[in-house]
Amino acid sequence: MKTFITKQSLAAYLQLIRASGKTIGFVPTMGALHQGHLSLIELARQHNDVVVCSIFVNPTQFNDPKDLEKYPRPIAADTHLLQQAKADILFNPGVKEMYDDNEQWHLNIGELEHLLEGKFRPGHYQGVTQVVYKLFNMVKPDTAFFGQKDYQQFLVISKLVELMNMPVELVMCPIKREDDGLAMSSRNIHLSADEHRHALVLSKTLNWAKANFDGSNFDVLQKEAERMINAEDGVALEYFEIADGGTLHPADAASKKVVALVAAKVGKTRLIDNVLLRS
């Protein structure tokens, strides 16, 4: 695996790859890699000749400086995992390599910016679109792979690609879970054993909603799901929403794709999860 820390050296190497007619698959990450990330790399390898993975903890998408500060950065362990997963290239830039001083960015992504995650994390998706736009321009991938766990983020990045007319195919990959059902996340390492146990209410409630969805009982499911999560000790529900899979507005009978999304704080750790009810 080759490692690059500057965009110039990365671009020069990838130019040679493209000139040889090879396709490039891209998995952008913030590091603290787990099996969920590695499953994206595996899919990227199946669909492309060369796989690039980036590790960059992007400061512009954090609206809480403490959250940025405590975000895990185990680069040695991550590098080892990428080598095992047979990634071809790691791009691991510093903040100064990615951003100039006083850089301004605003992309009109419409309502997606203010719904659900956007409501609880104002400014977050501006930071996401800013860094993904930069990374796509640096890597110029044929295909980019993202996890379903960040469902709203996938919609936001799809909007970015559409607005900027970027020639990249986006692939949403299934959520990877612990054996007990908890969605894999870099944040899970902050959970105590008790908190981990309480956090299982999120996936259990989503599974219950999927099992009991009859195609139209949106309000009943949502109220009962909220009750189930609010009854769990140590879990502070932010939202449980049964949404249209394309707009994230509340789902109705006309919604072709329906997704149930949840966000909650378990102790001090904020977790998100979702499940497709109709796809």
Q: Where in the chain is the domain with CATH 3.40.50.620?
A: 2-173
Q: How would you class 55 by CB atoms within 10 Å of its CB: exposed for 0-12, middle for 13-18, buried for 19 or more?
A: buried
Question: From the candidates 34, 37, 114, 249, which is the catalytic residue?
Answer: 37
Q: Where in the chain is the domain with CATH 3.30.1300.10?
A: 186-274
In residues, how long is the chain? 279
- What does each of the 279 residues of the chain score in pLDDT, given as a tens digit? 999 999 999 999 999 999 999 999 999 999 999 999 999 999 999 999 999 999 999 999 998 898 899 899 999 999 999 999 999 999 999 999 999 988 999 999 999 999 999 999 999 999 999 999 999 999 999 999 999 999 999 999 999 999 999 999 999 999 999 999 999 999 999 999 999 999 999 999 999 999 999 999 999 999 999 999 999 999 999 999 999 999 999 999 999 999 999 999 999 999 999 999 999
Fold of 186-274: Pantoate--beta-alanine Ligase; Chain: A,domain 2 (3.30.1300)
- Name the CA dihedral angle for 72, 76, 80, 85, rounded to a multiple of 10 degrees: 40
Q: Which secondary-structure segment (H or E) carries 58?
A: none
Question: From the CA atom positions of the chain, what is the Rg in Å?
Answer: 19
Q: Identify whether 37 is a catalytic site residue.
A: yes
Determine the CATH number of domain 2-173. Answer: 3.40.50.620
CA 211/CA 199 separation, integer angstroms: 20
